[in-house]
């Protein structure tokens, strides 16, 4: 699932209109509409976090759907890759 679809599904499940959601994010509804329709890449980290918090979803899940590491792990890319590779090898 894409980031836009992930957020749209959760927003709609909450019964929240896109314009109201964009207003809470303090961005233009047109920009957010493009994100939800996958015409824009996932937004900057701060908006991903804010969107997840507004919707009550896991910030980690939102970053996973955005195909991006959460900010607290971005400085640990090497360690994350090493841990992943080590785990992958252990499962073989």
Tokens standing for 9? 């599904």
pLDDT at 28 > cutoff 80 = yes
- Cβ neighbours for 33, distance < 8 A, ≥ 6 positions apart: 18, 22
CA 28 to chain centre: 18
46: CATH: 1.10.260.40
Q: pLDDT tens, 35-89?
A: 999 999 999 999 999 999 999 999 999 999 999 999 999 899 899 889 999 999 8
What's the predicted TM-score (pTM) here? 0.85
pLDDT tens digits, residue range 5-20? Answer: 999 999 999 999 999 9
Neighbours of 62 (CB within 10 A): 25
Distance CA 23, CA 17 (A): 10
Residue closest to 40 by CA, chosen among 52, 50, 28, 49: 28
Judged against a pLDDT cut of 80, whether residue 91 lies above it is answered with: yes
Q: Which residue segment(s) compose the domain that 50 sits in?
A: 3-91
Total tally of structural domains belonging to the chain: 1
């Amino acid at each position: 699932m894409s980031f836009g679809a992930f957020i749209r599904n959760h927003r709609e499940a909450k019964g929240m209109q896109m314009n109201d959601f964009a207003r809470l994010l303090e961005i233009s509804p047109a920009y957010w509409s493009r994100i939800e329709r996958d015409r824009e890449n996932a937004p900057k980290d701060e908006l991903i976090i804010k969107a997840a918090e507004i919707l009550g979803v896991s910030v980690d899940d939102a970053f996973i759907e955005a195909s991006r590491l959460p900010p607290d792990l971005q400085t640990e890319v090497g360690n994350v890759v090493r841990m992943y590779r080590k785990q992958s090898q252990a499962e073989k």
